[in-house]
C-alpha cells in the first residue's frame, strides 16, 4: 500500500527562487489497484514518484510505502519497490542476464534464489533469445523487457511507473501496459504516471490529476466523468487544471 499525507517538495533555484514541485500531495493506493497520476509535463509527477521511491527527500509531509516510512526507512522502502521510468536506463556494457543479476544481488538475493528468479523472469518476459547479449546491442523493446525484469527481480510489493511508455513504439508500449495490468492481477500496489489520456483510461482504477505540484482531482474514471459532467478524459483534465490558458501558462 502507498499512503502519502501532505507530501511537499520545494526546490530552491538561484534564478527562479523557490519552486514547489509537489505541494501537499495526499493519496492512497491499495494493493491490487492501479493509481494513475495524470499531469502535463512539469506538473510534478516525476518528483512525486521520486519522493515515494525515496530518491528524493520530502521537504514536508509524510508517506509510507509498503508500510515503511520514506524518510525514516528509505532502504526498506526501496527494498519493497520496483521503480521503472523512462529515465532509468540500463548499463550498456552488461548483458541482460548480468543486469538482472546485479540488481538482484543489490537487493540481497542469494545465488540459488537469484538463478531461480532470472530463469522465471526470462520465461515470463521472453528474454531467452537475448539474455546473454549486451544491453547496448538490444532493440528498444528488448531493453524495455530487460528493464522490467530488473524491476521485478526482487519481487516487490509496490510498483512505481514514471511514464514508462515514453518514446516507445506501439508494440513496446502495449507490452508495458500488459505488464502493468499483470502487476495488478498479482495483487501489487501500482502507481503509474502518464500524460497520455488513453493509457490512464485503459489502465487506472483511480486517476489523480496533478498540476503545479497539487492534486486537483481524484477518483475513478466514472467519478471524474460524473463530477465534471464530461465523457472525454482530456476535457476533464483541461477543466480540472483550470482551462487551456492555465495549462499553457504552466
Give the interface with another protein as residue ranges (CB under 8 A). 50, 53, 55-57, 75-76, 78-79, 81, 83, 85, 87-94, 98, 102-103, 105-108, 134, 150
**DSSP notation for 117-163:** HHHHHHHHHT-GGGTTSBGGGS-HHHHHHHHHHHHHTT--SEEEEES
Among residues 57 and 174, whose Cβ is nearest to another protein?
57
Query: From the CB of 23, what's the least distance to another protein, in Å?
Result: 18
Query: From the CB of 11, what's the least distance to another protein, in Å?
Result: 8
Q: What is the DSSP letter of 195?
A: S
Cα separation of 250 and 248, whole Å? 6
Query: From the CB of 57, what's the least distance to another protein, in Å?
Result: 7
Residue keyed to cell 495490468: 181
Query: From the CB of 119, what's the least distance to another protein, in Å?
Result: 20
End-to-end CA distance of the chain: 31
Query: From the CB of 198, what's the least distance to another protein, in Å?
Result: 26
Among residues 50 and 211, whose Cβ is nearest to another protein?
50
Query: From the CB of 175, what's the least distance to another protein, in Å?
Result: 19
Q: H-type helices in 45-88, by residue range?
A: 45-52, 74-80
Cα separation of 57 and 52, whole Å? 9
Among residues 83 and 179, whose Cβ is nearest to another protein?
83
Among residues 107 and 214, whose Cβ is nearest to another protein?
107
Q: Which three cell numbers stand for residue 137?
A: 546491442
Among residues 45 and 50, whose Cβ is nearest to another protein?
50
Q: Which three cell numbers stand for residue 1?
A: 500500500
Among residues 108 and 243, whose Cβ is nearest to another protein?
108
Closest CA to 74 of 52, 107, 99: 52
Amino acid at each position: 500500500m502507498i499512503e502519502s499525507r501532505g507530501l511537499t517538495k520545494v526546490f530552491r533555484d538561484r534564478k527562479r527562487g523557490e519552486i514547489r514541485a509537489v505541494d501537499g500531495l495526499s493519496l492512497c493506493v491499495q494493493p491490487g489497484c492501479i493509481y494513475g497520476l495524470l499531469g502535463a509535463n512539469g506538473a510534478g509527477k516525476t518528483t512525486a514518484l521520486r519522493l515515494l521511491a525515496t530518491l528524493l527527500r520530502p521537504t514536508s509531509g509524510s508517506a509510507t510505502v509498503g508500510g515503511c516510512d520514506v524518510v525514516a526507512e528509505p532502504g526498506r522502502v526501496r527494498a519493497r519497490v520496483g521503480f521503472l521510468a523512462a529515465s532509468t536506463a540500463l548499463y550498456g556494457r552488461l548483458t541482460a542476464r548480468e543486469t538482472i543479476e546485479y540488481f538482484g544481488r543489490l537487493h540481497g538475493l542469494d545465488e540459488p534464489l537469484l538463478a531461480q528468479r532470472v530463469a522465471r523472469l526470462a520465461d515470463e518476459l521472453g528474454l531467452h533469445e537475448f539474455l546473454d547479449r549486451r544491453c547496448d546491442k538490444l532493440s528498444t523493446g528488448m531493453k524495455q523487457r530487460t528493464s522490467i525484469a530488473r524491476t521485478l527481480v526482487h519481487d516487490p510489493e509496490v510498483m512505481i511507473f514514471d511514464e514508462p511508455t515514453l518514446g516507445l513504439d506501439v508494440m513496446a508500449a502495449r507490452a508495458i501496459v500488459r505488464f502493468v495490468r499483470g502487476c495488478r492481477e498479482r495483487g501489487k500496489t501500482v502507481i503509474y504516471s502518464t500524460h497520455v489520456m488513453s493509457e490512464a483510461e485503459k489502465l487506472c482504477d483511480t486517476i489523480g490529476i496533478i498540476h503545479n505540484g497539487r492534486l486537483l482531482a481524484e477518483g475513478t474514471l466514472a467519478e471524474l466523468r460524473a463530477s465534471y459532467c464530461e465523457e472525454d478524459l482530456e476535457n476533464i483534465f483541461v477543466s480540472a487544471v483550470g482551462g487551456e490558458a492555465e495549462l499553457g501558462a504552466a
